[in-house]
Structure 1
Amino acid sequence: MIVLHDILAFLVTLGILVTIHEFGHYIVARWCGVKVLRFSLGMGKVVYSRRFGKDQTEWAISILPLGGYVKMLDAREMGAENIAASELPREFCQQSVWKRIAIVSAGPIANFLLAIFLYTILFVHGVPEPVAKLRVIPDTSIAYQAGLRYGDLITTVNGEQVQGWTEFRWKMMQAGVAGANSVLEVQRFDDAIQGGTKHISISVPLKQFNAKDVDSDILNYLGLNLARSREVVLKRFLPESPALRAGLQEGDRILEVGQKPLLDVIDFIQVVNANPAKPLKLLVQRKQEKFEIEVTPASQDANGKTVGVLGVELQAALPEMVMVQANPLQAFVKSVEKTWDTSIFSLKMIGKMLTGNASLKHITGPLTIADYAGQTSRSGLITYLGFIAVISISLGVMNLLPIPVLDGGHLLYYSLEVLIGKPLQDRYVEMGQRIGVFLLLMMMAIAFFNDIVRLIPYFGRLMS
């Protein structure tokens, strides 16, 4: 059922993105007076079609769902001799170079507009985000050496306000890829001063960050993690588990281990895992009563390492949340900025991959997109719409790359035509098409390889 759900979510995502992209080409072609013969959702053999309008444009669904196209009246495909003289003014190649540029660029622009529209809706509605508050920071980490501490609340990055954890991570990733240091404004609790909090400016060095490490997350590179709820609450027990035998009950709160206060659920799990077959003294709160219990974690093998386990499920360690929201005008401006920033970041990453400064593992294909589509759709409509916006931006950026057979390749031809005052010779165009097909096949091969490597654990879970 999960696989079917993921496939359906992927097809819905792809259908929306391809329809919007191709409709951009279609509507601008119509505005420019070009006759549109077919609008196809999907590639290959047409399985269903209907004709509408004065031009009897064929609206079709084709057998291969990966893509789509708008077929216009084009002498390069049909031959000028096969086009009626009355129709020639509406033929694509008869249009000015500026009209052809507008028609070709309309597809990627439509994807960017879709992202702006979706982000505007999300920001007006409100997006729940974890607060940008820091968890335990290892004293050997870059972040700790820079001066960040447990419980710090990030308020700005390089002078730009941060409303949530995702926005904080995004701004840090942008700075890391650019190789620039980040200046963070943090709010820190201090009971020694009036009001209990103070504001501190901290410079975090990022110049040594290698963009190849983006896969591992720049915040992990710095030693930063999201703060979680400090409550450690026991839920369901396994039969004959060490926790049950020790007398612990559902709903018990663990306050301390060995007279050391716990920071959160992760802290408790780490302590238990580090002490297989060793007795631990717990301070427990049960309703209004507090008392101590001694429990000995059982030993269990995990990836070749012996760890301690108590055989009890813990209540999810949820972070403190904030609703990121804006009025319509602010939401629109923020959406434009986010779409622009994401596009520029994507281009920078592509540039770094071409120069060998970033890993080719960042290239993903339909399998990974289908996996993410399924995950985000299960998380709710807000998360799913955000995912569609991100993929729409990626589709727009990819299609603008100056690779023949993509929209960007055609724009390259037309830009050269503007510069030299005449269209490129057919042999140069044909040579470019061959190069473009080769490059696309190479990218697809890398994408599928990365997909398979990335999703091996996913398929393993399905088979287990």
Structure 2
Amino acid sequence: MQSLFFFIVALALLIVIHEYGHFWVARKCGVKVLRFSVGFGKPIWRKTGKDGTEYVLAPIPLGGYVKMLDEREADIAESERAQAFNRQSLSKRVAIVAAGPAANLLFAVLAYWFLFVTGIPGIKPIIGEVTPASYAATSGLVVGDEITQVDGRQTPTWNSAFKALLPKAEKGESAEVVVKSGGTELLYILNVPQISIEQSGQLLQLLGITPLRPQLAPVIGKTVAAGPADQAGLKSGDRLITADGVEIADWAGWVEKIKKSAGQHIAITFERSGKLESLTLTPEVAEDGTGRIGAGVDADYSSIPADMVSEIRYGPLAASKEAVVQTWVFASTTLKSLIGMLTGQVSTKNLGGPISIAQIAGSSAEQGLVTFVSFLAMISITLGVLNLLPIPMLDGGHLALFLIEAVRGKPISEQAQINGQRIGLFLLLLLMFTAFFNDLTRLFG
């Protein structure tokens, strides 16, 4: 229920932002807006404002729309024709349509700016292990080195170091890495292998770097609904004791056990409310072939050493630049992932629908404001990028038609537009079906 609540909150907020972009620019361009709707379906609430616009709240929270005066949809009085969308210049129509995705991207910039100004906590990027003969070992990196810069960018946390290295992996380029070692700063050239988008999460592992992590107690935090841990009966607060008769010393050891046991039965003993209990757990096989159970750690049962804690924080002006960069990087990565799915380089199993978004929304809200705002920024960027795709019925489809109009000197025929909308509807339904199918597959196996 909590996941559903935060899903509705997140989606409603982002829909309002997107549609308000269209609404605001349309009004500035002199176009009359007939209806501003959040959600689809029969209205459950409506009110007509002093501006003559009908504001509507509908029950299906999967989108919204701004209905403008348009001669192609109804007869319009002579006195109102100048306010019709179809009567506007090409530049104004482009601005109105592009304003929705632009509003989503602008919101993401503001969200990231807020996070960078207030500070994003994390763990210092100190190397815990270096795999022999790996890229990291060859470059000279050793255990205990703290990565402070990558190509001149400050990297106070592992998250910032990872994001700085990831662009290098797109083309397999080298990076200048500054580390703090024994109180001395040293510069190394780290060769970064070229990897696919699907391998991005394994970048540090492929480099041969294992981060130094604080020792966390093996206590179960939030579990994914219908995931292996949930189905086996594990609950938040359960303290893991043994796996197949071997003591579980910390969370890192537990994670390694799970990764190596994909599809295998594990006999677990754990403590719940002061009593020892047992069960059998079977990790599912993840995309990379390792095991996973859909459960996180409850860090409240552990204390993180103060000398391992850091944060990413900038002044207001520097935060503005970083926010734009972060938005651009995530938007370009999203677009590359979509292109990869079309070309077959990225599996469509990575697509997530409303169920996945709801689960992530609930989980991120539980982890605090920073995580939830970051989630909102990423979903807003995704929404903006998706709407810019040149698919009829999406904003990008309309912009593509405007481009054709600019080249031809006149719009394409109404019948061609109708045919395009049919194709667009089919593609959108196919996309939604794939996302829902992936959600149900993850939920029910």
Output the TM-score relative to the length of structure 1: 0.76
- Equivalent pair of 2:39/2:61 in contact (CA under 8 Å): yes
Distance 2:20 2:197 in 1: 36
Deviation at 1:187, TM superposition (A): 1.8
- Equivalent pair of 1:75/1:91 in contact (CA under 8 Å): yes
- Are residues 1:337 and 2:334 paired? no
Deviation at 1:440, TM superposition (A): 1.0
Instruction: Tell me what 2:232 maps to.
Output: none
- Give the AA of the match of 2:411: P
Distance 2:179 2:115 in 1: 27
The answer for unaligned runs of 5 or more in structure 2 is: 220-236, 243-248, 261-277, 284-297
- Equivalent pair of 2:218/2:254 in contact (CA under 8 Å): no
- Equivalent pair of 2:139/2:188 in contact (CA under 8 Å): no
2:302 to 316, 333, 339: 316
1:169 to 134, 145, 162: 162
1:118 to 111, 115, 131: 111
Distance 2:216 2:49 in 1: 62
- Equivalent pair of 2:214/2:304 in contact (CA under 8 Å): yes
Instruction: Tell me what 2:36 maps to.
Output: 39
- List aligned pairs for 1:357-368, cutoff 5 A: 357-368=345-356
User: Kindly tell me: are residues 160 and 238 of structure 1, through their superposed partners in 2, closer, same or farther at Cα, counting changes over 3 Å?
Assistant: closer
What's the CA shift string for 1:291-326, capped at 9, x where partnerless?
xxxxxxxx997649xxxxxxxx99537472212111
Deviation at 1:136, TM superposition (A): 2.1
- Equivalent pair of 1:174/1:345 in contact (CA under 8 Å): no
Deviation at 1:181, TM superposition (A): 2.2
- Are residues 1:414 and 2:399 paired? no
- Equivalent pair of 2:147/2:180 in contact (CA under 8 Å): no
Output the TM-score relative to the length of structure 2: 0.79
Distance 2:392 2:379 in 1: 22
The answer for unaligned runs of 5 or more in structure 1 is: 191-195, 243-253, 255-263, 275-298, 305-312, 458-464
Distance 2:371 2:345 in 1: 31
- Equivalent pair of 1:158/1:182 in contact (CA under 8 Å): no
User: Kindly tell me: are residues 22 and 132 of structure 1, through their superposed partners in 2, closer, same or farther at Cα, counting changes over 3 Å?
Assistant: same
- Equivalent pair of 2:151/2:175 in contact (CA under 8 Å): yes
1:180 to 169, 172, 177: 172
- Are residues 1:73 and 2:69 paired? yes
Distance 1:189 1:433 in 2: 60
Deviation at 1:455, TM superposition (A): 3.7
Deviation at 1:347, TM superposition (A): 1.7
What's the CA shift string for 1:239-270, capped at 9, x where partnerless?
9x89xxxxxxxxxxx9xxxxxxxxx8636997
- Equivalent pair of 2:35/2:55 in contact (CA under 8 Å): yes
Instruction: Tell me what 1:206 maps to.
Output: 193
1:228 to 213, 225, 244: 213
- Give the AA of the match of 1:34: V
- Are residues 1:219 and 2:215 paired? no
What's the CA shift string for 1:267-291, capped at 9, x where partnerless?
69979x99xxxxxxxxxxxxxxxxx
SS state of the match for residue 41, structure 1?
Answer: strand
Instruction: Tell me what 1:13 maps to.
Output: 10
Distance 1:300 1:35 in 2: 64
What's the CA shift string for 1:167-200, capped at 9, x where partnerless?
2222333332x2222414142534xxxxx43413
Instruction: Tell me what 1:384 maps to.
Output: 372
What's the CA shift string for 1:327-370, capped at 9, x where partnerless?
11111111111111211222222222222222223322111111
User: Kindly tell me: are residues 129 and 238 of structure 1, through their superposed partners in 2, closer, same or farther at Cα, counting changes over 3 Å?
Assistant: closer
1:97 to 90, 95, 99: 90
- Give the AA of the match of 2:73: E
Distance 2:8 2:357 in 1: 10
1:429 to 399, 407, 417: 417
Identity of aligned residues (%): 39
Instruction: Tell me what 1:261 maps to.
Output: none
Distance 2:217 2:402 in 1: 63
Deviation at 1:439, TM superposition (A): 1.2
SS state of the match for residue 76, structure 1?
Answer: coil
1:398 to 386, 394, 398: 386
Instruction: Tell me what 2:315 maps to.
Output: 327
Cα RMSD for the two superposed structures: 3.2
Instruction: Tell me what 2:184 maps to.
Output: 197
- Give the AA of the match of 2:214: S
User: Kindly tell me: are residues 350 and 146 of structure 1, through their superposed partners in 2, closer, same or farther at Cα, counting changes over 3 Å?
Assistant: farther
User: Kindly tell me: are residues 300 and 199 of structure 1, through their superposed partners in 2, closer, same or farther at Cα, counting changes over 3 Å?
Assistant: farther
What's the CA shift string for 1:92-149, capped at 9, x where partnerless?
1011111100000000000011111111111111111222222223336554455433
Distance 2:302 2:202 in 1: 23
- Give the AA of the match of 1:201: Y
SS state of the match for residue 405, structure 1?
Answer: coil
User: Kindly tell me: are residues 238 and 167 of structure 1, through their superposed partners in 2, closer, same or farther at Cα, counting changes over 3 Å?
Assistant: closer
- Equivalent pair of 1:155/1:186 in contact (CA under 8 Å): yes
- Give the AA of the match of 1:75: E
Distance 1:6 1:14 in 2: 12
Deviation at 1:50, TM superposition (A): 0.5
Distance 1:136 1:21 in 2: 45
SS state of the match for residue 30, structure 1?
Answer: helix
Computing the radius of gyration from Cα coordinates, the structure with the larger value is 1
- Equivalent pair of 1:126/1:325 in contact (CA under 8 Å): yes
Distance 2:280 2:186 in 1: 45
User: Kindly tell me: are residues 23 and 163 of structure 1, through their superposed partners in 2, closer, same or farther at Cα, counting changes over 3 Å?
Assistant: same
Deviation at 1:59, TM superposition (A): 0.4
User: Kindly tell me: are residues 380 and 91 of structure 1, through their superposed partners in 2, closer, same or farther at Cα, counting changes over 3 Å?
Assistant: same
- List aligned pairs for 1:87-166, cutoff 5 A: 87-139=80-132, 141-166=134-159
User: Kindly tell me: are residues 8 and 265 of structure 1, through their superposed partners in 2, closer, same or farther at Cα, counting changes over 3 Å?
Assistant: closer
Distance 1:445 1:125 in 2: 39
- Give the AA of the match of 1:210: S
- List aligned pairs for 1:256-275, cutoff 5 A: 266=252
Paired residue total: 388
Deviation at 1:220, TM superposition (A): 3.3
- 155-164 vs 223-232, which deviates more? 223-232
